Amino acid sequence: MTATTLSTNGHDRSALIPLLQQVQTEKGYVPQEAITEISEQLRVSTSEIFGVLTFYAQFRLKPVGKHMVKICRGTACHVRGAPFIIDAVEEELGLSDGNDTTKDHEFTVEKVACFGACSLAPVMILDEETKGSITPDQARRMIRKAVKAIKAEKAKAEVSNE
Ligand code: FES
């Protein structure tokens, strides 16, 4: 987000949501400095902007990991064991205390209301891979496989840098 980008939108308050969406698309989240900048540009209070950011689930206030793990916690998935999937994934990634992103910023776990694929419940998506009727063990295996692939990629990069 830059002043140049913002200046094209003037002081039109209706630009608030499109601007926030633009920041989110560019950075993956809406950082504090962007909120301040937008607040000054549109003459909207930061508390009003926070209200918008917290109202719409699409906005994130913290940076996300390189890999997204989306787990449905809708009714169909919930009754078919989604809480166990969530527990397994969070444990596998070492997430606790409400943190949704790993310390190395490789993974973010997002709990989604419904993917619209309830007949496949419970459903988990890791990046581009969707898995329905997933069990906690399968969820753990998906995570381990991704972690292994990331480690292999890093090792390859280190070798090529030597
Ligand atoms: S409730 Fe999980 S996909 Fe609909």
**Contact 123 CB / ligand 1 (< 6 Å):** yes
Instruction: Give 113's contacts (C-beta < 8 A, 6+ positions apart).
Output: 57, 72, 73, 74
Closest-lying ligand 1 atom to the alpha carbon of residue 75: 1
Whether the CB-CB separation of 17 and 52 falls below 8 Å is answered with: yes
Query: For residue range 89-122, what is the model confidence (pLDDT) as tens digits?
Result: 999 999 998 899 999 999 999 999 999 999 999 9
Q: What is the CA radius of gyration of the chain?
A: 19
User: What ranges do the domains of the chain cover?
Assistant: 3-55, 67-161
CATH topology of domain 67-161: Glutaredoxin (3.40.30)
| C-alpha 56 – ligand 1 centre gap (Å) | 19
Q: pTM (2 decimals)?
A: 0.78
- Beta strand pairing status for 124-126 and 67-72? antiparallel
pLDDT class for 135, splitting at 50, 70, 90? very high
Closest-lying ligand 1 atom to the alpha carbon of residue 117: 3
| C-alpha 87 – ligand 1 centre gap (Å) | 17
